[in-house]
């Protein structure tokens, strides 16, 4: 048993394993990049980089491969065991160990970003203001209650719970809410239409309307989800059934327990610690053609009663309150001179935003130490030989 453990340890800590894993990562990156010509970025990410195993089709030949998730986990173990635990500790390897610490920091920053970051966008016309940004493809069901003071209170059913409705009914209870929500069905991509009849096996018909599923678009942001949700009040036996659609113009409103309520299926929203107002959007085209040479947004950032002017351009993001706002795009794409334009900012909330910079500095310091020491020893040996 000890022999097996030692053998396993030797395999996991070997340089050969490192090389094989790095080659596999390179292969997955190459295949994943090629796959994007046929499917969207989101699907490729899920299939190649967020999986443990996958089957890549080379023509009609299926090729099983480890997913990048598995490879990266093995690489992390390999780095920890071989590069930090089992490596000989001396001044000769000090720089290498420091560099490995830097790589471990990179891995940690990637883990934090993957697990705890939030990505989305905020789109504003000139003069418009926003205090939240929206996900590109994650959905939420918002149960909204109008309070006596005119404000609203929201309970949010997260994306993962909504997705569960593809397999079974989902019953959601909420603190301080006198009824439950039951998500009866979910379509990842659908469109509403008048129901001709209420077939026993077809989509659920409510109020003469049904949501008809469409093929899921490889571009995740192009899908419009829909759900059938019932408001179930066990106290009086009332069951209100509603269809929710991701592109609906108005939420489903109803009255319960003396309060007005609303239900809405929408893209996940994340609050920003400040309000953002687009003051002016400017776009400079290349001479003679419509292709933009540069574009930028003058925004007002208001926080804690203080307002300041900020310019966001393609290479100058706004960093504030743990968020990074990049100038992502603008529109409408077919706008003519004088038309009102909107500006879109890609927003990332990444707790490890600056960690890669620190990791690179650590790696650079370790390698610098290592190579300078090597150089000094080489010069010393040459001098002795002379």
Partner 1 sequence: MNEWMRHCAGLGIAGASVFAFGCANRSENVVTSKIETSRIVENSKIDFSAQPSHAERFGLVASTRPTHDPHAPDADDSKSQFTWNTPGGWSELPSSSMRVANFRPAGDERAECYLTMLAGEAGGLTANINRWRSQLSLGGVSAADVEQLPRVDFFGRKAVVVEATGTWTGMSGGDSKSAWALLALALVEPGGSVFLKMTGPKNTVASQREAFLALAASFGAPGQPAAKVDDTAGGFAFELPNAWRRGPPKNSRALSFWAGEGEVVECYVTVLGGTAGGELANVNRWRTQLGIASVDEAAIGVLDPFTMLGRPAHVVELVGETSAIFGVTCMGEDKSVFVKMTGPVELVRKQRSAMLAFASSLKETPTR
Among residue numbers 120 through 179, which ones bind partner 1 (CB under 8 A)? 144, 146-147, 151-157, 160-161, 164, 167-176
Residue 288 Rama label (left phi>0; alpha psi -120 to 50; beta): left
Q: Does 356 bind partner 1 (CB under 8 A)?
A: yes
Q: In this structure, what token pair is assigned to residue 281?
A: 């959007």
C-beta of 259 vs 283, nearer to partner 1? 259
Assess contact for 122 and 347: CB atoms under 8 A.
Answer: yes
Q: Does 293 bind partner 1 (CB under 8 A)?
A: no
C-beta of 139 vs 261, nearer to partner 1? 261
Q: How far is the CB of 254 from partner 1 (least distance, A)?
A: 5
C-beta of 96 vs 108, nearer to partner 1? 108
Sheet strand arrangement including 190-194: 190-194, 209-213, 205-206
Q: Does 111 bind partner 1 (CB under 8 A)?
A: yes
Provide the 8-state DSSP code for 319.
E
Q: How far is the CB of 290 from partner 1 (least distance, A)?
A: 31
Q: How far is the CB of 198 from partner 1 (least distance, A)?
A: 7
C-beta of 103 vs 325, nearer to partner 1? 103
Q: Does 341 bind partner 1 (CB under 8 A)?
A: no
- Widest distance between CA atoms in the chain: 99
Question: Which of positions 47-66 make contact with partner 1 (CB under 8 A)?
Answer: 49-50, 52
C-beta of 31 vs 110, nearer to partner 1? 110
C-beta of 241 vs 311, nearer to partner 1? 241
For residue 219, the SS3 value is coil
Contact region with partner 1 (CB under 8 A), list: 111-119, 213-221, 279-287, 375-383:
111-119
- Identify the burial level of 133 via C-beta atoms within 10 angstroms of its C-beta, where 0-12 means exposed, 13-18 middle and 19 or more buried: buried
> Which of 11, 29, 290, 294 is close enough to bind partner 1 by CB under 8 A?
29
Phi, psi of 54 (to 5 degrees): -155, 165
Phi, psi of 308 (to 5 degrees): -135, 155
Q: How far apart are CA 174 and CA 187, in angstroms?
A: 23
Q: How far is the CB of 338 from partner 1 (least distance, A)?
A: 28
Give the torsion through C-alpha atoms of 28, 31, 36, 37, to 10 deg. Answer: 170
Q: Does 33 bind partner 1 (CB under 8 A)?
A: no
> Which of 54, 81, 122, 206 is close enough to bind partner 1 by CB under 8 A?
206
Q: Does 254 bind partner 1 (CB under 8 A)?
A: yes
Q: In this structure, what token pair is assigned to residue 211?
A: 């949501």
Q: How far is the CB of 125 from partner 1 (least distance, A)?
A: 15
Q: How far is the CB of 378 from partner 1 (least distance, A)?
A: 29
> Which of 13, 54, 81, 113 is close enough to bind partner 1 by CB under 8 A?
113
Q: How far is the CB of 336 from partner 1 (least distance, A)?
A: 26
C-beta of 126 vs 163, nearer to partner 1? 163
Q: Does 253 bind partner 1 (CB under 8 A)?
A: yes
Q: Does 200 bind partner 1 (CB under 8 A)?
A: no
Q: How far apart are CA 165 and CA 150, in angstroms?
A: 33
Q: How far apart are CA 383 and CA 259, in angstroms?
A: 89
Closest C-alpha among 136, 170, 133, 172 to residue 156: 172
> Which of 178, 260, 292, 321 is close enough to bind partner 1 by CB under 8 A?
260
Assess contact for 281 and 343: CB atoms under 8 A.
Answer: yes
Element (H, E) at 103: helix 91-116
Q: How far is the CB of 256 from partner 1 (least distance, A)?
A: 8
For residue 318, the SS3 value is strand
Q: Does 334 bind partner 1 (CB under 8 A)?
A: no
Q: How far apart are CA 67 and CA 126, in angstroms?
A: 44
């Amino acid at each position: 048993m000890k022999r097996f453990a030692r053998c396993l340890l030797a395999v996991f800590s070997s340089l050969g394993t490192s090389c094989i894993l790095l080659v596999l990562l390179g292969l997955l990156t190459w295949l994943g990049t090629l796959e994007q010509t046929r499917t969207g970025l989101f699907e490729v990410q899920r299939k190649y980089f967020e999986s443990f195993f996958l089957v890549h089709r080379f023509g009609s030949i299926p090729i099983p491969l480890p997913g990048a998730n598995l490879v990266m986990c093995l690489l992390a173990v390999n780095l920890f065991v071989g590069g930090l635990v089992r490596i000989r500790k001396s001044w000769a390897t000090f720089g290498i160990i420091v560099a490995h610490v830097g790589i471990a920091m990179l891995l940690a920053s990637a883990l934090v970003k993957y697990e705890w970051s939030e990505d989305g966008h905020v789109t504003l016309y000139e003069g418009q203001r926003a205090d939240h940004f929206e996900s590109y493809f994650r959905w939420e069901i918002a149960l909204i209650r109008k309070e006596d003071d005119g404000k609203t209170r929201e309970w949010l059913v997260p994306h993962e719970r909504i997705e569960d409705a593809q397999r079974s009914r989902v019953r959601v209870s909420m603190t301080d809410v006198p009824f439950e929500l039951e998500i009866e069905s979910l379509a990842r991509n659908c469109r509403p239409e008048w129901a001709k009849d209420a077939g026993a096996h077809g989509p659920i018909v409510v109020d003469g309307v049904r949501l008809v599923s469409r093929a899921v678009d490889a571009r995740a942001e192009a899908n419009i989800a829909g759900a059938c949700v019932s408001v179930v009040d066990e106290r009086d036996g009332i069951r209100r059934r509603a269809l929710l659609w991701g592109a609906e113009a108005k939420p489903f409103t109803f009255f319960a327990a003396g309060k007005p309520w609303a239900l809405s299926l929408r893209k996940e929203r994340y609050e920003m610690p400040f309000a953002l107002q687009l003051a002016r959007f400017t776009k400079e085209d290349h001479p003679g053609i419509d292709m933009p040479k540069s574009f930028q947004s003058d925004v007002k950032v208001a926080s804690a009663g203080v307002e300041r002017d900020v310019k966001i351009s393609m290479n100058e993001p706004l960093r504030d309150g743990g968020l990074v706002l990049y100038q992502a795009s603008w529109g409408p794409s077919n706008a003519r001179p004088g038309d009102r334009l909107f500006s879109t900012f890609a927003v990332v909330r990444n707790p490890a935003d600056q960690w890669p910079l620190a990791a690179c500095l650590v790696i650079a310091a370790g390698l610098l130490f290592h190579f300078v020491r090597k150089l000094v020893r080489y010069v010393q040996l040459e001098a002795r030989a002379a």
